[in-house]
Amino acid sequence: MTILITGANRGVGLALATLAASKGETVIGTYRGSTRPTVPNVDWQSLEVTQPDAHHALAKRLADRPLSLLVCNAGVYLEKGQSLESGYAKPLWDDTFAVNVTGVFLTIQSLLPNLRAANGKIAIISSQMASDTTAPGGSYIYRASKAAALNLGRNLASDLKREKIAVGIYHPGWVQTDMGGSSADITVEQSAKGLMQRFSALSLASTGCFETWDGTQHPY
């Protein structure tokens, strides 16, 4: 099985890439910036998910490689410490949506031929903060972007079902990463193990699902 994971150079993405590679899967991991990761047994590919030209270049490099699983993991959370009265400046909205929403769509769009070649699956890493029914306030940009990613995934699931491509949307847990902080509930290894089980269980029967890392159905 060939798996491509975006944003695989750190956090949950890195844990997913490491776990999949340890199980003998063929893993393609994307990273941004000029420093190529040195984690072994991963085919590292440069990708700035906000740039269409970068997607076209990656798709060209991978033109003959069927993908069994595409994990859209790359994401940002830029607004910590913002106040409702004076914060949440427009560039924060632009940059967050460019990665968390447009970047997801461009990744899927550019790699559709590879997914079609393998009747592959798509996993979108969203967040519990995407939920409309659990809305405690704050983090307006991040919440809105993850809600958009959830909506995107649900609609793609409808459109791609006829092509036998299943789409799942997942909350990775509150994870001990740079984004989640050291006081978070679970380790990246726990999150990655649970998520890989969710990806394995994903099928056309469950396409469009919104689940947590441990298999719990999350309210929309």
Distance CA 82, CA 165 (A): 39
pLDDT at residue 200 tops 70: yes
pLDDT band at 50 (very low <50, low <70, confident <90, very high): very high
pLDDT band at 184 (very low <50, low <70, confident <90, very high): low
pLDDT at position 38, please?
86
Assigned domain for 140 exists: yes
Residues 66, 120 contacting (CB under 8 angstroms)? yes
pLDDT at position 136, please?
83
Distance CA 41, CA 25 (A): 9
Assigned domain for 218 exists: no
pLDDT band at 158 (very low <50, low <70, confident <90, very high): very high
Q: Which helix (H) or strand (E) holds 53?
A: helix 52-61
CATH of the domain at 6: 3.40.50.720
Strand partners, 45: 30
When divided into structural domains, the chain yields a total of: 1
Token couple for 36: 């190529």
**Residues 16-46: tens digit of each pLDDT:** 999 999 999 999 999 998 889 988 899 999 9
pLDDT at residue 61 tops 70: yes
Assigned domain for 220 exists: no
Region 186-210: mean pLDDT is 95
Distance CA 169, CA 93 (A): 22
pLDDT at position 15, please?
94
**Residues 84-129: tens digit of each pLDDT:** 999 999 999 999 999 999 999 999 999 999 999 999 999 999 998 8
Residues 14, 188 contacting (CB under 8 angstroms)? yes
Q: Tell me which residue of 27, 22, 47 sits closest to 36, measured CA to CA.
A: 47
Domain span including residue 83: 2-212
Distance CA 18, CA 97 (A): 27
Average pLDDT, whole number, for the chain?
Answer: 93
Helix axes 52-61, 103-118, angle to 10 degrees: 20
Most confident of 41-50, 136-145, 210-219: 41-50
- Give one DSSP letter per residue of 139-199, joined into a string: -HHHHHHHHHHHHHHHHHHHHHGGGT-EEEEEE--SBSSTTT-TT-SB-HHHHHHHHHHHH
pLDDT at position 179, please?
62
Token couple for 102: 């447009």
Assigned domain for 219 exists: no
Assigned domain for 142 exists: yes
> Which residue type, as a one-letter code, is found at position 220?
Y
Assigned domain for 161 exists: yes
pLDDT at position 182, please?
63
Region 59-85: mean pLDDT is 95
